[in-house]
Structure 1
Amino acid sequence: MDKHWKAMWIWGEGEPSPRNEWRCFRNTFAYEGDPGRPVSLSITADSRYVLFVNGYLAGRGTTRSWPKEQMYDTYSIGHLLRPGADNTIAVLVLHFGLANFYYLAGRGGLIAQVESGDEVIAATDRTWRTSKLAAQDSTSPRMSCQQGFAEVYDARLWDEAWNRPGYDDASWSAALEIGPAGTQPWTRLIPRDIPFLTEEKKYPSKVMSLARVKAPRFTAAIDLRNQMVKDSITHANPVGFTGLLAAVLVMEEDGEVAISFPTGTRADDLYVDGIRCTPAHVDQPETYYTLTLGSGSHLLLMDITSGDHGSVFHIGVDSEAAFTLRAPLHAARNEEGNPFTAVGPFDAVEYIDYKDGRELRRDHPDYLRLKTIRTEQELQGYEGWMQPVSRQLYSAVDVFGASVWRTLSEKHRVPQELQFAVLPTQNFAQLEPFPDGDCEIVIDLGKERSGFIGLELDAPEGTVIDAYGVEYIKDDYRQHTYGLENTFRYICRSGRQSYLSPVRRGFRYLILTIREQRGPVKLHEVYIRQSTYPAAEIGAFRCSDARLNDIWDISRHTTRLCMEDTFIDCPSYEQVFWVGDSRNEALVNYYVFGVTDIVKRCLRLVPGSADMTPLYVNQVPSAWNSVIPNWTFFWAIACREFISHTNDTAFAAEIWPAVQLTMEAYLEHLNGDGLLEMKGWNFLDWAPIDQPREGIVTHQNLFLAKALRDAAAIAAAAGQEGTAAAYEEASSRLTEAINRHLWSDERHAYLDCIHADGRRSDTFSMQTQVVAYLCGAASGGRKALMEAYLKFPPADFVQIGSPFMSFFYYEALEEAGQFELLLADIRAHYGQMIDNDATTCWEMYPNFSENRANPNQLTRSHCHAWSAAPGYFLGECILGVKRLEDGWSKVAVAPQPCGLTWASGIVPLPAGGEIRVRWNVSDNRMTLRVESPADVEVEVRFPEGMQGEVELV
């Protein structure tokens, strides 16, 4: 039943959708109810909110959702109210003002309502007061193309008592009413369908280093995407543009100048006074130039032609000689007040993965001529192409750039007293200023965390605290989060103060750099409020191999950190619900946590993208119109697995129309040979398999055949038996076409693809053979060949390239009964993570293509739940607990020791309860104990050739 809303959507003066605006709202009301009387507060906002009741942090949101089905949260707040006194509801709303991978562009808005029974006690309307949060600098950089914004927060500009009763908000404005519930773009409000996330205060393990550092004299961060392609704020599709960035460097004396691009150049072209420069040093992607320049003005032109998905462009300049930067053709013409002018775009394109697009043109004559000019005056003929970089898109506070490019780094001994900064104690760590330079400390949280960074300190006014989170440090190597501004700046007011960032971040190591330090800084606390889905650690696994125990532990921790209001790919770089990833994450979750609400919520979100395409996009809710066909197929497979796991036939009936819609859409892409042939991001693995964006890709034809069979099972569960038979038949026809057209008699294997021009691929991969076996396409002699390839992969086949693909490989090994090989692969690949001090599972294996430029970079993301396979397979295969019938009414316990002498563990059941197993092996005999609920039938299977005793409890 829909809630009855009396509240109005409200916002403040100014733009309806301002970029990166933090806005505060307050309402004070009298409350005469009893102290124990139930009182609830329902709330949602665009884009995120933090809720305070009488100064107490009561909750945060909003749960990610499609605007057409905006989710609201309901809190019980009666215990926070003061009967017979004034009570204050205060809300901080963080509005993005642009689209990304977990948010569709909307407009700023807040709606909230306080109720007790049928009585509405308070509701948002024009009587609420509002003010932009003056401490937050709205020009702070984007975090990444996937996310919102980093923050620059000046505590001198804001009264932290704003959220408490008694605060004088007379200078604030009256809120503006947008409209009632149901107002566009939030056409329907629906209640939250999962529990609230946890908030656990976690202290770091230690301060691991102290150094005197210096930053370059000038750094800046620029959003070139929104500068060059103005309407790109409304979507998250990649764009491309040709253009230049211009500035004038004024040297007050002769000297050497260093110019850096901490995240790399775009077109690898820097021109100074018409001369193309050669980098002095490249540390991928960082690019550094060293120039000797005479006194006077020098024209800088940077070729910024590139594809751009939304990453920040960084530039730094440093010199012993005095210099300034200004905009060309006299700084006074640049009303935006920064030294950069964009030239162009001479061409711009937008790319949508599953639609036709054109290539970016790079041959415009003005663009080519401009790269040859030598003086500022020569720009005068091109003023029609020149536009000042918008002040909203330019940040002079570049925490990331200054953290990456340190012009000095001098190590110092870490005093024992400095550890008080990370310990729950009344003591504090005192940091004295260095006479020349900034103070940098690196804090190890002990393991990867995800949540909200908190600081408590005592500092002189104006002290700057730069915070930067990274995932991996080894010796002198730091793996910088290129493409992610995992940073914030906090500028201190005078005295004792605290700050809790409202922006979620994931990291293991926190680098704090204290700049502009005018006196001692006392660090009382540094911590993180870890926030994840509330899942008890019901699942368990232990065995005689300590290495496997560590691997299982990091798999569980990875899965926890990648469970927010949906499954996400990683807590640092993206925090995005990738549809395909979540299928594997759900299976791991079933075994380590056993929760189901988050799985159902994820499955329900996917069809919301039907407004973009019936093929369904690969990350939701998202403004990137991107389709990975396999991700849609994995969604259909995951729907069937959820129904089988829970025996939830009501969900089958609910989700079936959405499954049917997308299956029919894909069947329309079958060609005359009965094969799926389409444009899209035809992806499965980060490996050099032949998977072109257009043509017939074998692995996704195979997964479509499996998805059709699973769609048939969903239809049957939904009571659509006739339709189920039709989908079974469609799957059989597709499988027959695959075997007819995509098999190579010469190589005795399935080829990777047939290109759009009809050329048969000469690439053969283990990925394709694994999927052919797993999806049941191979039979008879071909199946025997696939099983042989699983055991002995041909050396000239492309090998498995990622832990994600290993999940499917392990599924195939399980089906083939190759448990020893499965366990050996887990030990080898995940063991190297343990050897490198991993506390979570890596996105990639070392030496994948993106890492080869730097052998120290073992992976991109160090916490990626698509990689947490051992959390599932150690429980299902080695412990041996496997569902036999829907809803786990019948269970097999079939251990596979594979050389282990003992194992024990717990597998949670979807309706509550658990299966407990303990087994020991001695002299080829197994002693097995199984504890299960009385209504679960247990079928025990000893390993082949082994006898034993069973105790069923």
Structure 2
Amino acid sequence: MTEQAAWKAQWIWGSGVESPRNEWRCFRKTFTYDANERQKGCSIRITADSRYVLYVNGKQVGRGPVRSWPFELKYDEYEIGHLLKPGETNTVAVLVLHFGVSNFYYLRGRGGLVAELETAAADGVKTTLLATDETWKTAVHAGHEASSSRMSCQQAFTEITDARAWDEGWMATGYDDASWKNAAVIGPVGMEPWVRLVERDIPHLTEEPTYPVRVEALSAVTPASWLAALDLRSQFVPNSADHANNVSFSGYLAAVIRINKPARATIGITDDGRIFGPCSINGTWYEADSFTGDLPERYLTVELRQGDNFFMMDVTGTSHGHAFHIGFDSEETFEVVSPLGDGQATPFVTVGPFDTAEHIDHQAPTHLKRDHPDYIRAKSLADAAGLSEFAEWVKPFPAEYFNAQDAFGAFVWKKSEPQVVPHNLQNMVIASCDPSVIPLYSGRDTEMIVDFGRELSGYLSFELEAAAGTIVDFYGYEYMRDGWIQHTYQLDNTLRYTSREGRQAYTSFVRRGLRYLMIAIRGAASPVKLYEVKLLQSNFPIAEIGRFQCSDPMLNDIWQISRHTTRLCMEDTFVDCPAFEQTFWVGDARNEALIGYYMFGASEIVERCLRLVPGSKFQTPLYADQVPSGWSSVIPNWTFFWVTACAEYYKYKGSRTFAEEMWPQAEQTLDRYMQNLDERGLLNMRGWNLLDWAPFEQPNAGIVTPQNMFMTKALRDAAGLAAVAGDDAKSRTYIAYADRLREAINMHLWDESRQAYIDCLHEDGRPSATTSMQTQVVASLCGIAEGERAETIERYLTEPPAAFVQIGSPFMSFFYHEALVKLGRFDVLLEDIRTNYGAMVENDATTCWEMYPDPVNRPKMPTRSHCHAWSAGPAYFLGAYTLGVRGADPGWSKVIVEPQPAGLTWARGTVPLPDGGSIAVSWRLDEAARRIRLRIEAPRGLELLIQPPDGYEAETEVVRLG
């Protein structure tokens, strides 16, 4: 960590708005230095709000910073001496992407850059060669479209860039920046909101060029005539940029559709099913059920009269931040204009809001009022002139909230004519110098689908030759089958690039996850040559140390997709998925940590994740469920899982220092949770009381049974941390708390008539109507049931009753599998993995899905996210139990090797050790002799506790290394 006073640099930005929305700002500084100054190296420290890309003499050096709380902002340090030219002019250039809105991985601060270049002499004395100050030059990136829409409520903005408007050589030394302005100094290091700068605590992420495997399809397409994406949330609730909580608003959206003669037209909502109300044309209202198609994609055909047609839609609803995609289409030429006449920035106006509400799940509920007399009266509006009666409510829709280049809508709403894929087209996916010549179709766009062969996550990069003004759209998605594409609704996973003249290359600045990439060529005046398209796969830097193979090919495939899933969901923290969210969900990461230990020996990323969580205490002492985030949301189970993960990290690494530092943080939040116990001694609180995506009763208020059960486990795990930290008194207290809570659960939440634990007690005292596997699993796992009850629960786990709500996600299966391990039912464990994960493999999955298929409610869509880290559990269980390798003490100085064949005849693999090295195990059964032949390679000094399966004798060979 560097003290603030050690920085000579100052925070800089451009003049104007402190926190501009979606601004890309460029900075440059040229300098010379003496060759002797690089004798011991030359390094640069840098950070920015919100993200940066650093260049030295035109070469990209790195991206950052890692996600962090603004009051503990991380900075990066790079060695750049090898890139500098002694005695010549050198250039440091930085592109800063400032979001200007809070999301699920960023809290809004203000635009800012701080950087400092130091050289070290032979005697070790460091000299500051340059530092950010008012002499740096800056300009807004004119090629970036700041009105691009949000990718999703969890993320920042889509990428729209016009190569004609910006010189790509701006970061090189020879660039003429005479027209740029001097940067404005906004304050010293230590200023608000970045009161502490903290050195990055993990290695830099990878950027591995990865090529597609094939061009899958080719089509001539015609998108809908008119498309746009609107930020209704910011228009109706402007201060919502400061947080990422759900907001509700009541009001209308209005425009005029002008057409030369009567015609039929279609109104389309191509995304955002959360805001979808009735609409009117010239005062005739069409209810929401008049639209065709399934939410969030809906269409309504209407008759337009000659001249102006007044369109109005009730957009009352709730928004987390995703854009509202709307369009109009007709065979006749039309235009969409503002009801307020010429001179308006956009064709829309809003009427309202008549009421707004912000929703925070662990606070008292807020309700949107829909009874304002002007809201009711405005529904009678039939033409633009009538807006004058509502002048106090009418607001023009500003350009910054209006994206007129809706690439997502163009990919979703179109007429398509499939074509044969010519062999030449495959050149774009091959690492060679021969380009693909893209076929053009008169009056239509050319659209191609590229398959990368597996899910990926990173930065899109391409090279092409085109005429100036040619538009190239890119859209990444995860799944298609038998011609059906699963669009990424509520994720605008697009990039629009407008070409300058000639040959050019571009690398995206926005991270995205995908397997398939749709590419559209629009408005090409001459043939387009596409030389390559690739993705720079970016993830936490890990080697694939963990290995597993066994006699069941299906389990081998499942292990492979589990490993790939985990890798893609390791960024600067664990993330739930690389496409939709890229969010660090606290509870998910507990399971992901165990998986990561067995796959990669990854402990740095785990410790970073665990240490980030208490930073949310300024939002809630209960700790937030995703961090660092502008969404102040609490899932109590997620906090309990964090406590458990801290205890498991200590057991993995054996770091007493970690336990001593994290115990007070765990104590602080669990003591607050204890204040929510009711007179029966049960946790009774308001929150997002989630455990599984399944239809069992887990209400946001009341007593949720699995939550109470997991709290007992968290209290016991925290007691363990307290003991390691030397707080024996509190350790005993927490064990007593857990015992009392367990007694209360057994007294109040067991239903004798059902012979099962109920799922919940509602606020009004009603017991749940549902009885679920989820609750019985947690009862077993957390040691709640004893005696006959425990025997009953065991029967449920091995033979789930059909009347019970079944497990709905691989996340919940992780706890089910843990419970089966406790019962020693490894046969049931492997069969459950084969059945549920085998369905993924058989559906061409290369990563693990977020949910299990639901053929009744989702007949085509097998899952929302096709790459979800919480689902990769088989990789852990196959290593820990089938292979049989587990730590026997904190830090793993002793290791248990206890294979559980459960019907397999052989297995082999490798498990990383916490402090480097690995242990390799292979075993094969000799059923006739009831013998297991076991071979182990392990470091010298590692104590092995070898236990053969029940009923088998071991023939063991141990090879010592080092």
Matched to 1:62, the amino acid is P
Q: Name the residue aligned to 1:896.
A: 900
- The residue aligned with 1:360 is 368
Superposition map of 1:658-669 within 5 A: 658-669=665-676
Residue 861, structure 1, aligned to residue 865, structure 2: yes
2:70 corresponds in structure 1 to: 67
1:113 matched to which residue of 2? 116
Q: How does 1:635-674 map to 2 (within 5 A)?
A: 635-674=642-681
Deviations 1:398-427 (A, max 9, x none): 011111101x20111111111111111011
CA distance in 2, matches of 1:918, 1:381: 81
Which residue is equivalent to 2:837? 830
Q: Is the 8 A contact 1:36 1:79 kept in 2?
A: no
Does the 8 Å contact 1:253/1:322 carry over to 2? no
The DSSP-based 3-state class of the residue aligned with 2:939 is coil
What pairs up with 1:381-392 in 2 under 5 angstroms? Answer: 381-392=389-400
Partner of residue 503, structure 1: 510
Within the candidate set 190, 206, 210, 1:202 is matched to 210
Equivalent in the alignment of 2:406 = 398
Deviation at 1:852, TM superposition (A): 4.9
Given the alignment of the two structures, is residue 754 of structure 1 paired with residue 765 of structure 2, yes or no?
A: no
- Matched-pair contact (CA < 8 Å) for 1:253–1:296: yes
Query: Aligned residue for 2:939?
Result: 933
1:892 Cα deviation after fit: 1.5
Partner of 1:99: 102
The residue aligned with 1:872 is 876
In structure 2, the residue matched to 1:324 is: 335
Within the candidate set 371, 376, 382, 2:384 is matched to 376
Q: Which residue of 2 aligns with 1:2?
A: 2
Q: Is the 8 A contact 1:467 1:512 kept in 2?
A: yes
In structure 2, which of residues 713, 734, 758 is the aligned counterpart of residue 727 of structure 1? 734
Q: In the TM superposition, what are the counterparts of 1:593-632 in structure 2 within 5 Å?
A: 593-632=600-639
Query: 1:921 corresponds to which residue?
Result: 925
2:956 match: 950
Give the equivalent residue in structure 2 for 1:590.
597
1:242 to 242, 250, 254: 250
CA distance in 2 between counterparts of 1:327 and 1:47 reads: 34
Q: Identify the residue that residue 59 of structure 2 maps to in structure 1.
A: 56
For residues 427-466 of structure 1, the aligned pairs below 5 Å read 427-466=434-473
Task: Write the distance in 2 (CA, Å) between the matches of 1:33 and 1:811.
Answer: 60
- AA of the residue aligned to 1:319: S
SS in 1 for 2:769: coil
1:15 corresponds to which residue?
A: 17
- For 2:688 and 2:783, locate their aligned partners in 1 and report how far apart those are by CA, in whole Å: 24
Shift in Å at residue 264 of structure 1? Answer: 4.8
Please, which of 630, 636, 641 is the counterpart of residue 634 of structure 1?
641
Match of 2:176 in 1: 168
Q: Which amino acid letter does the alignment assign opposite residue 22 of structure 1?
A: W
Q: Which amino acid aligns with 2:685?
A: M
Q: Distance in 1 between matches of 2:886 and 2:787?
A: 27
Aligned to 1:90: 93
What per-residue deviation string (whole Å, max 9, x for no partner) do you get for residues 111-130 of structure 1? 00011132001110001000
What do the CA deviations read for 1:460-502 (whole angstroms, capped 9, x no partner)?
0000001100000112211111111100100000001000001
Name stretches of at least 5 consecutive residues in structure 1 with no aligned partner: none
Q: Please tell me whether residue 27 in structure 1 is matched to residue 29 in structure 2.
A: yes
2:297 is aligned with 1:286:
yes
**2:123 corresponds to which residue?**
none
Secondary structure of the structure 2 residue equivalent to 1:282: coil
Instruction: Give the TM-score of the pair, scaled to structure 1.
Output: 0.98
User: Does the CA-based 8 Å contact 1:36-1:78 persist in structure 2?
Assistant: no
Match of 1:489 in 2: 496
Amino acid paired to 2:53: V
| Aligned-residue offset at 1:250 | 1.3
CA distance in 1 between counterparts of 2:897 and 2:399 reads 64
- Select the residue among 234, 237, 241 that pairs with 1:233: 241
Please say if 1:298 is aligned against 2:309.
Answer: yes
Q: Say whether 1:144 aligns with 2:152.
A: yes
Tell me which amino acid in the other structure corresponds to 1:327.
S
* Cα distance between partner residues in 1 of 2:95 and 2:276: 40
Using a 3 Å threshold, how does the CA distance of structure 1 residues 854 and 742 change in structure 2: closer, same or farther? Answer: closer
AA in 1 matched with 2:46 = I
**1:633-686 CA distances to partner (integer Å, 9 max, x unpaired)?**
000000000000110111011111111100111011111111111100001000
Query: Secondary structure of 2:753's match?
Result: coil
Contact 2:272 2:490 in 1 (8 A): no
Taking the aligned partners of 1:264 and 1:426, their CA distance within structure 2 comes to: 42
Displacement, 1:327?
Answer: 1.4
On the 8 A contact 1:284/1:854 being kept in 2, the answer is no
Residue 123 of structure 1 is matched in structure 2 by 131
Work out which of the residue numbers 247, 255, 268 in structure 1 matches 2:277: 268
TM-score norm. by structure 2 comes to 0.97
Gaps of 5+ in 2: 121-125
Amino acid at match of 2:945: E
Distance verdict in 2 for CA 1:917–1:93, change over 3 Å: same
Deviations 1:587-636 (A, max 9, x none): 00000111111000000000000111110000000011100000000000
Is the CA contact (8 Å cut-off) linking 1:279 and 1:287 kept in structure 2? no
Using the alignment, how far apart are the partners of 1:426 and 1:67 within structure 2? 45
Structure 1 residues 852-898: Cα deviation after superposition (integer angstroms, max 9, x where no partner): 55411110000000000011011111111122211112222111112
On the 8 A contact 1:264/1:287 being kept in 2, the answer is no
1:762, distance to aligned residue in structure 2 (A) = 2.7
Q: Tell me the CA shift for residue 251 of structure 1.
A: 1.6
Shift of 1:372: 2.9
Alignment pair present for 1:40 and 2:43: yes
Report what 2:537 is aligned to. 530
Measured against aligned partners, the alpha-carbon deviations of 1:679-702 in whole angstroms (never above 9, x if no partner) come to 000010001111111111111111
**Identity of paired residues, percent?**
54
What displacement does 1:750 show?
A: 0.9
CA distance in 1 between counterparts of 2:583 and 2:687 reads: 20
Q: 1:28 to 1:124 in 2, by over 3 A?
A: same
Does residue 678 of the first structure (1) align with residue 685 of the second (2)? yes
Counterpart for residue 891 of structure 2:
887
Aligned to 1:778, which of 781, 785, 810? 785
Partner of 2:909: 905
Aligned residue identity for 2:954: G
Distance 2:775 2:342 in 1: 59
CA shift for structure 1 position 288:
0.7
Residue identity opposite 1:163 in structure 2: M
The answer as to whether partners of 2:598 and 2:912 remain within 8 angstroms in 1 is: yes
Aligned residues: 946
Higher mean alpha-carbon deviation, 689-698 vs 942-951, is at 942-951
| 1:309 partner letter | H
CA deviations 1:151-181 (Å, max 9, x no partner) are: 1100001111110112111100000001111
